Amino acid sequence: MAEETPMMKQYKDIKSQYGDTFLFYRLGDFYELFFDDAVQAARELEITLTRRGSSNEQHIPMCGVPYHSAEQYISTLIEKGYKIAICEQVEDPKTAKGVVRREVVQVVTPGTVMEGRAVRENENNFTAALYPCDDGTASFVKADLTTGEIEGAVLDKDTRQWQREITRTGIKELIVPSSFDAGHILPASIVCSVEEDTKLQQDFQALLPEHAGSKVESAFALLTNYFVRTQKRSLSHLQTMQLYRPKDSMQLDIHARRNLELTETLMDHNKRGSLLWLMDQSVTAMGGRLVRKWVEQPLLNVDDMKKRHSVVESFLAHYFEREELRDRLRYVYDLERLAGKTAYGNVNAREMVQLRRSLQELPELFSLLDSLDNETMKEWTERAGDFSGLRDMLEKSLADDPPVSITEGGLIKEGWHDKLDEYKEASRNGKDWISRLEKQERDATGIKSLKVGFNKVFGYYIEVTRPNIPYLPEGRYERKQTLTNAERYITPELKEKEEMILGAEHHSTELEYQLFLDIRDQVKEYLQPLQETARIISEIDVLQGFAVQSERMQYVRPEFSANRRLSITGGRHPVIEQMLDQGEYVANDMELNDQREILLITGPNMAGKSTYMRQTALLSIMAQAGCFVPAEKAELPVFDQIFTRIGASDDLTSGQSTFMVEMLETKQALSMATPDSLILLDEIGRGTSTYDGMALAQSIVEYIHERIGAKTLFSTHYHELTTLEDTMSKLFNVHVRAVEEEGNIVFLHKVEQGRADRSYGIYVAKLAELPDGVLDRAETLLHQFEGHVDRVLHEENEELTPAPVLNSSYESDAGEGEQLALFEPTPAGSDGSKQKEERKTHPVIEDLKKADVLHMSPIQALELLYEYQQKLKR
């Protein structure tokens, strides 16, 4: 059995401490991976799997990536949800005795990655901790290491709120104590269980607000201790935690965010076509992240909304100042993440130049704001930091176009440090001497092809092609390297200059690196004002973007009602309006108040019912986020929650049918909505049989009307439900108008009072160009169905009659061909009358008579229907 090498023993020892990560083990210019890590990494990264030596008489699987390009490989693994432990050589191999000492210097995880593709410019990269408390509540803290932001809250006992907060903020990694069984409560793909460690370290005490309470402290300690274990470096850029209450902003569950396409579209999950795409006219990366947050968390405080609207109004009134402001913002880089990287220790010189360029724009930028005479803008100007000293230092010290690497020189301007200038002068003079030497040697030997070169292995040399070697003077040239067609030589003078030049360059590079670290430390002293100014710049950027969009699309400033009134004149769907290639968007009015709380919307498919519903929700979100809205006039209530049930889709991952998904989403609305909520229900009940669906739809409408009192838009194809207007005082019928012209349907997309007279389904099928035979047959069947329904509705005191006997042929003449009954007729016989009597007294009918439909929840109604169905089958 072969004995393990000391290096492999070291590897195994380190790997045993980081079992759930890929260990990137530094060997020279490569990070190497071994054993199972190598096999899996080679597959995920699509790189070559090789083998090294042997372990216990078996070859060791191995793969590796160059250290200078490791970032791209790390990003790939992070995007796939893996963790990476970076193991570096922590002593000089030249002075090491035995195997070089190595240590893990950082663990990179999906939530703690600081750079690369995994960090998206316009999105936060949150890691969060959830700590369940004994009373059933939970403390929740999230932090973005790239910006230093920290937010914390205590969540209710309702685990649906836990899920909403986690999904709303796009958590990349969720830390929970190992004693907590997450089960089906939390998304397993992001959960990371750790040993319970809620002792808060001294370094983070100052970041916890005094009134935070012990509950929030537990999650905060769990999160910061995780950061300490994985990052192993300064976290001085972490900001003071901001406490919040989830119910202080509009609550939008995952269904509402998805159905309303707030940040991505339903079909292809792209930003284009979403509300965020429309509202994000920001210029900076910071503004891009903030506008996403505002779209996902609309305000509830009217005064805060009015402040934002006031700033938008000021920007609209000052076009030229706003355009100059936008031009200056284009040169403001990501101050939040630049500050974070500075404190973290991975900022480079080019990023420092970006910081310098940003600071150069700030004086004129805030001067512009001052000239607009807006109270919020003046407040921003007063809060912004003074960076004149920092800006002056960066202008004098940093080279204008430094390299990416901070260890290879070229970082510092001449005149900043005397000793560095001396080294650079010596190096420059030496290189000039080398240039003169080449000309001097050519003249002395007559060899025109003679050249002086340099490489890192052999230093400086004189190269002569083989045919010209006889022309060299004897005794003066010393052979240094032999090539196929040439020889390389050195001379005593060249050797002397080489030592001087290389010595100067080495000392210069080392000194530049130390000077850069000194500059970085000076920038660290400005972390807090930089972060505060970044927050201000973000708000400025978002609101000027709102003004740009409002001017471009002729939006109006919304007003907020104190009496729950919603009155929109000429409202438009903001996204569809902007994406129309041709034609003009048809605007519609909307009126809801305490006496008019539910609109029952009818009309044909494709006429625009869903669009009408969605645009009401989107206008409310835009207004409460601080933007103007697409309408001629808008008076809106402040909605605390928006619930949606729009569209039909199976949840294949959990094995739930379309109808079950529909019922679960409806349950969410019925169980959580308040009178200050907005509910959008589109085609409820279409996932089951007609009568089941109609019964459920009516009971849901009655439940909202009698028990909740929320503003509700309810679209349906069950025209029978339009009679509810006669019995429900706060329900009103509206319809999306369509007209028939020359046998075809024309959608007018105009919403009018009253009920639709028909659904025009066959006309829509005609637009889809179904075969003529299918359309003709459908017309025939439709007339037969309608005739049957009319007969049933007008036959009083009669038993339910069999459905009409329908022609099985697709011929238009219903009188010919074989007949097929939908229901079996009552068997003939002497006891026929007895069978009829039995149907009258069937237990299901008796139970149905006793059922209290008006006070039954939709889920209870569904369960009752299922029970009846099973009884009838038996």
Residue 339 has pLDDT above 60, yes or no: yes
609 marked ligand binding residue: yes
Structure tokens at 769: 């160009």
Question: How are beta strands 566-571 and 588-592 bridged, if at all?
Answer: antiparallel
pLDDT at site 834: 38
- In the DSSP assignment, the letter for residue 273 is T
Contact residues for 788 (Cβ-Cβ < 8 A; gap 6+): 803, 804
C-alpha span between 554 and 548 (Å, rounded): 10
pLDDT at site 263: 95
42 marked ligand binding residue: no
Question: How are beta strands 251-252 and 173-177 bridged, if at all?
Answer: unpaired
Please give the average per-residue pLDDT across 594-618, as a whole number. 91
Provide the pLDDT confidence category of residue 755 given band limits of 50, 70 and 90.
Answer: confident
Q: Which domain holds residue 211?
A: 126-248
89 and 148 within one domain? no
More confident residue, 742 or 408: 408
pLDDT at site 104: 96
Please give the average per-residue pLDDT across 781-809, as a whole number. 49
Please give the average per-residue pLDDT across 490-512, as a whole number. 88
Kindly give the residue spans of alpha helices, DSSP state H, lying in 602-741: 609-625, 658-672, 690-703
pLDDT at site 369: 94
CB 464 within 8 A of CB 481: no
359 and 341 within one domain? yes
Among 59-63, 580-584, 640-644, the least confident range: 580-584
pLDDT in tens, 420-434: 998 898 888 888 888
Structure tokens at 150: 């920290």
pLDDT at site 839: 41
CATH label of the domain that carries residue 144: 3.30.420.110
Residue 814 has pLDDT above 80, yes or no: no
Please give the average per-residue pLDDT across 342-368, as a whole number. 95
Contact residues for 4 (Cβ-Cβ < 8 A; gap 6+): 12, 55
163 and 143 within one domain? yes
pLDDT in tens, 228-246: 999 998 899 999 999 999 9
Report the mean per-residue pLDDT for the chain. Answer: 86
Among 398-407, 569-578, 603-612, 650-659, the least confident range: 650-659
Residue 802 has pLDDT above 60, yes or no: no
Residue 815 has pLDDT above 50, yes or no: no
Provide the pLDDT confidence category of residue 304 given band limits of 50, 70 and 90.
Answer: very high
Q: Please check whether residue 215 lies inside any domain of the structure.
A: yes
Q: Please check whether residue 537 lies inside any domain of the structure.
A: yes
88 and 136 within one domain? no
pLDDT at site 400: 95
Percentage of the chain modeled with pLDDT above 90: 60
pLDDT at site 758: 61
pLDDT at site 222: 95
Percentage of the chain modeled with pLDDT above 70: 86
572 and 542 within one domain? no
675 marked ligand binding residue: no
pLDDT at site 657: 61
Residue 728 has pLDDT above 90, yes or no: yes
pLDDT at site 769: 73
C-alpha span between 577 and 568 (Å, rounded): 16
pLDDT at site 737: 84
197 and 301 within one domain? no
Q: Which of 767, 786, 818 is the last residue of a domain?
A: 767
Residue 861 has pLDDT above 90, yes or no: no
pLDDT at site 167: 86
Residue 817 has pLDDT above 50, yes or no: no
638 and 617 within one domain? yes
Please tell me the pTM assigned to this model. 0.82
CB 808 within 8 A of CB 820: yes
* β partners of residue 139: 131, 154
pLDDT at site 803: 38
- Number of C-beta neighbours around residue 802 at 10 A: 13
pLDDT at site 55: 55
CATH label of the domain that carries residue 425: 1.10.1420.10
Provide the pLDDT confidence category of residue 853 given band limits of 50, 70 and 90.
Answer: low
606 marked ligand binding residue: yes
CA atoms within 13 A on the CB side of 540: 32
pLDDT at site 594: 94
Q: Please check whether residue 811 lies inside any domain of the structure.
A: no
More confident residue, 788 or 367: 367
Q: Please check whether residue 732 lies inside any domain of the structure.
A: yes
What is the number of structural domains in the chain? Answer: 6
Q: At what angle do helices 335-344 and 349-370 cross, to 10 degrees?
A: 140
pLDDT in tens, 611-663: 999 999 999 999 999 999 999 999 999 999 999 988 644 443 344 566 777 78
pLDDT at site 604: 78
More confident residue, 837 or 102: 102
Among 33-37, 176-180, 328-332, the least confident range: 176-180
Sequence length of the chain is 874
Q: Please check whether residue 288 lies inside any domain of the structure.
A: yes
80 and 43 within one domain? yes
Q: Please check whether residue 502 lies inside any domain of the structure.
A: yes
Burial class (CB in 10 A: 0-12, 13-18, 19+), 691: exposed
pLDDT at site 741: 67
C-alpha span between 232 and 371 (Å, rounded): 47
Structure tokens at 131: 């700590």
Residue 81, SS3?
Answer: coil
Residue 213, SS3?
Answer: helix
Cβ-count burial 767-795 (b if 16+ within 10 Å, e if not): eeeeeeeeeebbebbeeeeeebeeeeeee
226 and 149 within one domain? yes
Q: Please check whether residue 371 lies inside any domain of the structure.
A: yes
256 marked ligand binding residue: no
Kindly give the residue spans of alpha helices, DSSP state H, lying in 564-642: 574-579, 609-625
Structure tokens at 47: 């790189």
User: In whole angstroms, how far apart are CA 707 and each of 276, 704, 832, 856?
Assistant: 34, 6, 46, 11
- Number of C-beta neighbours around residue 281 at 10 A: 21
Residue 252 has pLDDT above 70, yes or no: yes
Residue 742 has pLDDT above 70, yes or no: no
488 and 444 within one domain? yes
pLDDT at site 790: 53
pLDDT in tens, 69-82: 899 999 999 999 99
pLDDT in tens, 146-173: 999 999 999 999 888 898 898 888 899 9
CB 181 within 8 A of CB 172: no
604 marked ligand binding residue: yes
Among 268-272, 515-519, 747-751, 760-764, the least confident range: 760-764
Please give the average per-residue pLDDT across 473-477, as a whole number. 85
pLDDT at site 812: 36
pLDDT in tens, 436-460: 999 999 998 999 999 999 987 888 9
pLDDT at site 863: 66
pLDDT in tens, 206-234: 999 988 888 999 999 999 999 999 999 88
538 marked ligand binding residue: no
Residue 809 has pLDDT above 60, yes or no: no
Provide the pLDDT confidence category of residue 107 given band limits of 50, 70 and 90.
Answer: very high
C-alpha span between 237 and 234 (Å, rounded): 8
Question: How are beta strands 191-194 and 138-144 bridged, if at all?
Answer: unpaired
459 and 542 within one domain? no
Provide the pLDDT confidence category of residue 787 given band limits of 50, 70 and 90.
Answer: low
Contact residues for 16 (Cβ-Cβ < 8 A; gap 6+): none
431 and 368 within one domain? no
pLDDT at site 760: 62
CATH label of the domain that carries residue 16: 3.40.1170.10
495 marked ligand binding residue: no
pLDDT at site 759: 60
pLDDT at site 416: 96
Structure tokens at 666: 């409806």
pLDDT at site 868: 74
Q: Please check whether residue 567 lies inside any domain of the structure.
A: yes
pLDDT at site 576: 93
Please give the average per-residue pLDDT across 396-419, as a whole number. 94
